[in-house]
Amino acid sequence: MMWNHTPISPFVLNEKEKEKQRIKREQAAVKIQKRWWMHITKRLFILLKHTIRAAEYCISYDILKRVNPLEAELLKEPTIQYKVRFRFAGSDFPPFIIFKIFCKSRTKNNQYISGKRVITSESKAAVDACKLMGYRMYYNQILQDELQNKRHGITDEIDIATIRDYMQYASHMDETPAYYGGRHNCWRRLTLENWPRAMIVYDIMDYAYSGKLSARLRAKLPFLLLKPQNEETCRAQILAVCQIRSMSPGFITTSLSRQEQKAAQRMSQRRSYQARQKIAKMKKVYKTAKEEDLSSPLSDHSAGDPGPENQFSNEDWEQEAVMLYDWARSLRTEDIWED
């Protein structure tokens, strides 16, 4: 038996080597992309962690004021301890931030007054409520209560037997709307518009949503990505995230829209013909009086010690200016360019 030893051409060897090198390069590129993505993800998570800490400990009032100004006033209530909690949520990365308001009285627990708890079916108030609401709306309310009871099981204080039941009941009360007898205090999502623009937290959230890194965030990145060795460093990072910086005049001017600029021009032009004539007349009188004072030989002596006539004229001039200012503010739109 004879073996056929046919030599392999160099062209085939070169093709195999090229294929192996291509596979190795692809594997190396996948590893580099994976490492780079892990680095970017870790960096973004550190920034989001600084953001959520700053939101909870420093700027909760500023954020809540943009979400709901009426709820923001509750944080200033001295008799009740209000706390805003922030959490990460979402199944994908980067996560979005949600918040919820928790309140606790210093003396006793809060009592939520609702018609579902106060008005019972046996009372006369239920009959009056049916007449005021109408039969259709009243029956829909009863049906909704029955559906909630069958769906959740624990919808009333009578159903509470254990601590787990109480936690389920409290969660159900928070998620139920107010018109169904609940507290309507569920976890709510924050958007980019709810963050203060003058703080770096806005740049961080913009970077999380759009992937664009701003100039001021890039300048703060080395300090914000430091691993805090003590509590002072952690506090300094939180303060750096929520620090307010004043905007430059050029940025403020360019940020004005065309409509706002036109409105400002219209406000400056809101003077009638009589007002402009009166202002020109007062300027002319003022210039004439000033020239007479400078040309008089006693101007040097009277400048240091003004007489009662000069004081009276100055007071009269100020009073006239105030009256003119009040009159100009009271002008209506119909008075513009009126002859």
Phi then psi dihedrals of residue 247, to 5 deg: -80, 150
- Nearest 5°: the CA angle 29, 46, 199 is 120
Between 116 and 175, whose confidence is greater? 175
How remote is the C-alpha of 45 from its chain's centroid? 21
Number of H helices, E strands in the chain: 15, 3
- For residue 277, is it within any domain? no
Pick the more confident residue, 173 or 255: 173
- 11 in any annotated domain: no
Residue 304 lies in a domain: no
Rounded Cα gap, residues 56 and 228, in angstroms:
19
User: Nearest CA to 217 among 233, 209, 225?
Assistant: 225
Distance between CA atoms of residues 99 and 89, nearest Å: 10
Q: Tell whether 169 is covered by a domain.
A: yes
The parent domain of residue 161 ranges over: 114-183
pTM of the model: 0.57
Q: What does the pLDDT look like over 85-137, one tens digit per residue?
A: 999 998 888 899 999 888 775 555 666 666 676 777 777 887 888 888 888 88
Query: Given pLDDT bands bounded at 50, 70 and 90, which one contains residue 266?
Result: low
Query: What does the pLDDT read at residue 110?
Result: 61
Structural domains in the chain (count):
1
What is the Rg, in whole angstroms, of the alpha carbon atoms belonging to the chain? 36
For the chain, the average pLDDT equals 75
In this model, does residue 154 exceed pLDDT 80?
A: no
Whether 161 maps to a domain, the answer reads: yes
- Over residues 222-255, the pLDDT tens digits come to 888 888 888 888 888 888 888 776 554 444 444 4
